[in-house]
Amino acid sequence: MDTPLHHVVIVGSGFGGLFAAQAFAHAPVRVTLLSGTNHHLFQPLLYQVATGVLSSGEIAPPTRDVLKRQRNVRVLLGLVTHIDLDAREVTSTSPLGERRTSYDSIIVAAGAGQSYFGNDQFAQFAPGLKGLDDALEVRGRILGAFELAELSTDDETLDRLLTFVVVGAGATGVEMAGQIAELSRRTLPGTFRHIDPSRTRIVVIDPVPQVLPGYSDKLSRAAADRLESLGVELWLGRKVVDVDEDGVVVEDADGTRTRLEAACKVWAAGVGASPLAAQLAEDSGAPTDRAGRIEVEDDCTLPGHPEVFVVGDLMTIKGYPWVAQLAMQSGTYAARAITRRVRGEEPAPPFHYRDKGMMATVARFHAVARIGRFETAGLFAWGLWLGVHLLYLIGFKNRVSTLMHWVVSFVGRSRSEQAATWQQVVGRNALRREGSPPLAAQPGTDPG
């Protein structure tokens, strides 16, 4: 008689979860992947969805489609709310109710959410960029701000509507600012009659004194120069201390506060580990870092629980950076470590992150890249960046025609995803005034 196969539960369909699932391709295990969405998300390109270059589907292949041929994996929709370490059981929720799934091993790859550093009330005014919902929200706000600016009848309103604030000067912040600049300087001019979209003000704010911290001074300087040549203002060494419907308050190093009127704000700062990390840390007594990430053992397991692996943005180990590569490599590592155990082989050696380099795109034809010790900024780096991303997307079977579409959009002037619905512009737009007339005059319709 056969014993039942070792059952692995994977929480999350991001880089960590998906790479773990794929690494089990030929392993003698059953895998259940639980995720709150039906798709894998290629998060490094999310800012392009937010700025109208790409559609949702182009960066979010259905997880079950990617894993279709791997017969030992089942993919289930469910938001994991609790992991019972003693009972080895995970609770997930869906519109059908709660579901409990027991496991022999578990890989927790639930990823990071946005962190507002204790100011969660900022979220409604400055959405982050973590999932597709966020990206579509931001897209509606950006395009909506230009539409409303065209309607403005006084300079104060006009200036507020044409000022865009990006909080955070890391890769996402730099990329967002670059894309808003391209949108306003290249795509939109000529389409408005009242406003000049190219006079849009874009302000990037970060308490760190340089853009792209984590890159060398040389690359950071190159990115800053390119942004400034696009007219992006860099308010570095300054901290956002308040956000409301109409703007932000910024504090200098010497404590001076300045108010900046801006209708559209995007939060590209702070990352906070999933609430699952807090639950796991509390129940296991594992220490966490300031962002709530779990300090794992050198084999990515939860202290005292060799059957629980924590990977990607949810864990901290040896000071490795929280990049997509770390999630992929730790996900793969966890799957291989479990496979060894199940096969009765020697334990895996400690997890070691292999640094393949970093790259960020600043604007059209301009990126910065580091590969090992080799550094480059400009067109060549942009070509590298494009090639790496194309290869990755092709790996996930996104169609070549989609990729061609992307290359054409990204290199060209126009953008294919500029449709903003009435709901997006009005219903969710933080610009709405109290006391304005009821806006849902024709509910449920998208008036032509």
Q: Which residue, 3 or 401, has its beta carbon nearer to a second copy?
A: 401
Tokens of 192: 């408005």
Q: Which of 356, 362, 47, 325 is nearest to 220 (CA)?
A: 362
Q: Is the dihedral of CA 205, 207, 212, 218 positive or negative?
A: positive
Stretch that binds a second copy, among 127-135, 167-175, 294-302, 331-339 (CB under 8 A): 127-135
Among residue numbers 201 through 260, which ones bind a second copy (CB under 8 A)?
none
Contact pattern for a second copy over residues 255 through 294, marking x by CB under 8 A: -------------------xx-------------------
Task: Check if 297 is active-site.
Answer: no
Q: Which residue, 212 or 308, has its beta carbon nearer to a second copy?
A: 308
Tokens of 238: 């300054």
Q: How many CB atoms lie within 10 A of CB 84?
A: 14
Q: Which of 8, 16, 13, 5 is nearest to 320 (CA)?
A: 16
Tell me the number of residues near a second copy by CB under 8 A: 103
Least distance to a second copy from the beta carbon of 403, Å? 9
Binding of a second copy by 13 (CB under 8 A): yes
Binding of a second copy by 37 (CB under 8 A): yes
5, 25, 132, 249: which one contacts a second copy (CB under 8 A)?
A: 132
Binding of a second copy by 150 (CB under 8 A): yes
Among residue numbers 386 through 425, which ones bind a second copy (CB under 8 A)?
397-399, 401-402, 404-405, 408-409, 412, 414-425
301-302 vs 305-310, strand pairing mode: antiparallel
Least distance to a second copy from the beta carbon of 234, Å? 27
Tokens of 402: 């989609």
315-316 vs 294-295, strand pairing mode: parallel
DSSP of 334-387 = HHHHHHHHHHT-PPPPPP------EEEEEETTEEEEEETTEEEEEHHHHHHHHH
d(CA 111, CA 89): 20
87, 117, 151, 229: which one contacts a second copy (CB under 8 A)?
A: 151
**Options 137, 175, 297, 417, the catalytic residue:** 175
Q: Which residue, 255 or 447, has its beta carbon nearer to a second copy?
A: 447
Stretch that binds a second copy, among 96-104, 216-224, 301-309, 378-386 (CB under 8 A): 96-104
Question: CB burial class (10 A; 0-12, 13-18, 19+) of residue 139?
Answer: buried
Q: Which residue, 121 or 258, has its beta carbon nearer to a second copy?
A: 121
Binding of a second copy by 152 (CB under 8 A): yes
Q: Which residue, 41 or 367, has its beta carbon nearer to a second copy?
A: 41
SS3 at position 309:
strand
Residues tagged active-site:
175
